Amino acid sequence: MSIKPLIIFGMLLSAYLNAQTVSSKLTDKQEIQGLLQKYNVPALGVGIIENGKLVEVGVYGEIKAGVTAPYNTIFDVASLTKSIVTMTTLQLVENGDWNLDEPLHTYWIDPDITDNAQHILITTRHVLTHTTGFNNWRWMNESNKLEFLFEPGTKFKYSGEGFEYLRKALEGKFSVSLQQLSGSLLFQTLGMVDSRHSWDADVDEKRFAVGHDKLGNIYQLPKDKLPNGADNALTTIEDFGLFGVNVIEKLQGSVDVYQEMAKPQVMVKDGIAIGLGWFIFSNLSNNEYALYNAGGDEGAHTVIVLLPKSQRGIIIFTNGDKGYFLYKELIPKLLDVGIEIINRI
């Protein structure tokens, strides 16, 4: 018998087993279905990292009425996009192609702030620590324009505009899109085959978890065509699990920029600081600390929690407006320090 059929059979068996993997901590499907119904969230995805490996993936519910959510469901992960942009940028720093503290005006100046001298102060560090001085979005300002609320570097204010500013600076220097940068530095390297910053011809719409409002009604599919540095990335639980594993691996190494990433840069509130692109929960039980990011848009609520010391983590994606409440229930069930984290957010 030829060995080739045996190899093919082995590959198919492996793919089948992977496709059936469900979290051992979430085997009570009635409980999961109860949570989905309680919060009118159609689909839930969960990834579990243990010992620095993505060990389990579970996807539950429906991407829309009557369509079962597949193992490789594609989710809009909202502000978890910032985590991707953070790691793309830090990889450039590690490669010697980017400087955390170089002013960004060399590569990009937003027309709204050209006449404000403070624009020469903005650096990548300010963006990653949410200290640019920008509001979350410019439309939140009375002027509907980008403006400084305070001098860059002086205090914390969460800002999507900051990450968009960084995107434009990166694209200005390297003359390629954010998709090409993340693609070459992260997605292709890590095998994140279903990950991208915006809708394109390669997105399999049949696998997309369409967003739903708090009553369970479907939202219109936005299909944003342009990358955004702060929002709207598309990915799967498996892809983002591989991403989370890579973050933990980076922290096991000795590259200075990743060690700095996990050190508090600015205090946000009691028990929470911001590092480089990640919120840091220090002084947890068992001498743990956590890296945390979450995302929330219409019909999308997502979260990643990593425990670098014990090399553990969880990723939770939902496609409903009340997904935030669902993952607040799940985090304590999945992590021994989960209740401590939930009590701080």
Domain assignment present for residue 293? The answer is yes
| Amino acid making up residue 228 | N
- Contact of 248 with 314, CB cutoff 8 Å: no
pLDDT at residue 12 in the model: 35
Comparing CA positions, the residue from 227, 228, 226, 229 lying closest to residue 124 is 229
Residue 280's DSSP bridge partners are: 273, 291
What does the alpha-carbon distance between residue 65 and residue 71 come to, in Å, rounded to a whole number? 17
How distant, in Å, are the alpha carbons of 92, 105, 329 from that of 173? 12, 11, 43
- Contact of 233 with 200, CB cutoff 8 Å: no
Domain range for 220: 23-85+204-342
Domain assignment present for residue 31? The answer is yes
pLDDT at residue 224 in the model: 85
Question: What is the CATH classification number for the domain harbouring 242?
Answer: 3.40.710.10
pLDDT at residue 222 in the model: 81
Domain assignment present for residue 74? The answer is yes
Burial call 165-204: b when 16+ CB within 10 Å, e when fewer? bbbbbbbebeeebbbebbbebbbeebebebbbbbbeeeee
Domain assignment present for residue 210? The answer is yes
How many domains, in total, are found in the chain?
1
Give the phi and the psi of residue 121 in degrees, each rounded to 5. Answer: -90, -20
Domain assignment present for residue 285? The answer is yes
Sign of the CA dihedral running 103, 107, 113, 114: positive
210 by Cβ neighbours in 10 Å (0-12 / 13-18 / 19+) ranks as buried
pLDDT at residue 223 in the model: 87
Domain assignment present for residue 335? The answer is yes
How distant, in Å, are the alpha carbons of 93, 96, 103 from that of 99? 6, 8, 9
pLDDT at residue 187 in the model: 98
Domain assignment present for residue 118? The answer is no
What does the alpha-carbon distance between residue 233 and residue 135 come to, in Å, rounded to a whole number? 21
pLDDT at residue 285 in the model: 96
Comparing CA positions, the residue from 75, 92, 84, 138 lying closest to residue 112 is 138
256 Cβ contact partners less than 8 Å away, ≥ 6 residues apart: none
Q: Where are the alpha helices (DSSP H) in 20-43?
A: 29-38
198-255 tens-digit pLDDT: 999 999 999 999 999 999 999 998 888 899 999 999 999 999 999 999 999 999 999 9
Sign of the CA dihedral running 33, 36, 39, 42: negative
Judged by DSSP in three states, 302 sits in strand
Q: Which parts of the chain register pLDDT below 70?
A: 1-27
pLDDT at residue 9 in the model: 34
pLDDT at residue 25 in the model: 62
Burial call 251-284: b when 16+ CB within 10 Å, e when fewer? beeeeebbebbbeebeebeebbbbbbbbbbbeeb
What does the alpha-carbon distance between residue 256 and residue 244 come to, in Å, rounded to a whole number? 19
Report the first-to-last Cα separation within the chain, whole angstroms. 60
Neighbours of 21 (CB within 10 A): 17
